[in-house]
Amino acid sequence: MKPIVYGALAACLMLVSCTRTESPTPKAAAQPAGETCAAHGAPKGLCFICDASLRESGRLWCAEHGRYEDRCWLCHPELRDAKRAYCERHALYEDECFLCHPELKKASTSAPAADLMCEEHGVLEKECGICHPELLADKRPGEGLKVRLPSAGSAAKAGIEVEESGTRGMQDGIECLAEIAFDQKSLAEISSLVGGTVRSIEVDLGDRVRKGALLARIASAETGEAQSEYLKALADETLHGKTLERERRLRAEGVVSDQDLQIAEAEFKSAAAGARQARQHLAVLGYRDAQIAALASGADAPAELELRAPFAGEIVDRTAVQGMLVQTGKPLFTLADTSRVWAMVDIPEPLLSRARVGQAVRLTVESLPGQSFAGRLTWLPAAVDERTRMARGRVELSNPEGRLKARMFARATILTEAPGRAVVVPRSAVQSIGGSPIVFIREAEDLFEARAVRIGTTSDDLVEVVAGLAAAESVVVAGAFALKSQLLISRLGAGCAD
């Protein structure tokens, strides 16, 4: 394709206009009855110029001049047979123009389309991607169109680089987005079970603590009442225990009756139950066994309630400040074991049938380039999201160094098949035209093939090509966009000027 020369184009348009004006009227009279095409005076059911579905399959169409390529004398004047009458109105020879002579439609004698050469680009017309980029849409993997650059040095000027396609072990997988989250099995919101005042805070945000570590002290009247109830219950248990021992001794001597002994036993059991209940109340409030034992022995008991870590982890949130009033059940600290995290993966509904609990998962994060993390799919939901049509699954990962942070976005690959050898190319080599993937193959210094391919798994910066490409082919890995622009140049306004 050459840039449009407006003088030549105007001459072409004048030629077509004059030809249409001078077309003999008997042709119009020869048209069958029925609705006709206003632009070409032909039956609408036969007008292949307006209706592309009526054109012969396999015959190239010159979209610029509105005729078959092998009948376009504007593009290929050297092919015209001067001995055959030519219908300028419909761009066919008279003896094959069924628009003027509908009776020819029943038994067309038109010659088969010839393999025309694109003189401008030096390739077959049916393979010229610059003149006919629309043909790429019908290409199957392994088929393509030729793209000729203006000169042998054009590739270097456009920054085009070529590498041989290689092979490597790849695994088929489901590509999906993911979000990092804390392991909910090792996450705790720590709050006070009684109202009171924060007397002291022993940890800060980001501190790593061991199990049982002191986090804060809470002063509360309720803790004093609980201690008093426990001491009173212990005293009652001790008193009724002594009474029971005396009644048993007196019964053995025959001084008291069996009924008196039974009453003493019942009162002791009731007092013992009250003591256990009061002790349990202290344990629920957070008192340790040693503290309760010290209280029972008469030693000084802690005046405040102590909040302690239920397991080892990191303080990831803190709302407590010294002197604040504490409400029952309101979280003061959030503790998380960050050595293990979850990745919540969004699996597209069409791919959900390939996912299984137990499959290995590979995860990458943009903020950690060059690093990947291995995990395992541990849960799949029973329903998909009605709005996004995604199923949010759970992947568990080890995170001993804490590099993965909650709420990070990531890309996950759920590995669904065993690894095998595959043809691979860099991501930069794969271009998309009309939603279909293609790669460019170098055939000469100034000649490339835009080839349709079918891609498979994407891993890191490599793309698996499952059909349309063999190993050790010269694939464009840099500057492919320049070739794509050259391929689509006719759609951008350039055209023939013959």
Q: How confident is the model at residue 189 (pLDDT cuts 50, 70, 90)?
A: very high
Q: Kindly indicate whether the domain formed by 138-170+421-492 is annotated with CATH number 3.40.462.10.
A: no
pLDDT for residue 472 is more than 80: yes
CATH architecture of the domain 173-184+337-415 equals Beta Barrel (2.40)
Is the pLDDT at 90 greater than 60? The verdict is yes
Q: What percent of the chain has pLDDT over 90?
A: 35
User: For residue range 441-466, what is the model confidence (pLDDT) as tens digits?
Assistant: 999 999 999 999 998 777 667 888 98
Alpha-carbon gap, residue 344 to 391, rounded angstroms: 10
Q: What is the architecture of the domain spanning 221-303?
A: Orthogonal Bundle (1.10)
Domain extents for the chain? 6-114, 138-170+421-492, 173-184+337-415, 221-303
CA dihedral in degrees (279, 281, 286, 292; nearest 10)? -20
Banded pLDDT at 495 (limits 50, 70, 90): very low
Cα 65 to chain centroid distance, Å, stands at 44
- H or E element at residue 487: helix 480-487
Q: Which amino acid is present at 474?
A: S
For residue 301, the model assigns a pLDDT of 63
- The predicted-structure confidence for 278-302, as pLDDT tens digits, reads as follows 888 888 777 778 778 878 877 666 6
SS3 of residue 342 by DSSP = strand
Name the phi and psi angles at 494, rounded to 5. Answer: -85, 160
Query: How much of the chain exceeds pLDDT 70, in percent?
Result: 83
pLDDT score, position 407 = 95
The mean per-residue pLDDT over the stretch 408-418 comes to: 87
Residue 214 corresponds to which tokens in the numbers above? 């002191």
Residue 145's DSSP bridge partners are: 450
Q: What DSSP string describes 411-446?
A: EEEEE-S--EEEEEEEGGG-EEETTEEEEEEEEETT
Whether residue 129 has pLDDT greater than 80: yes
Query: What is residue 485's three-state secondary structure?
Result: helix
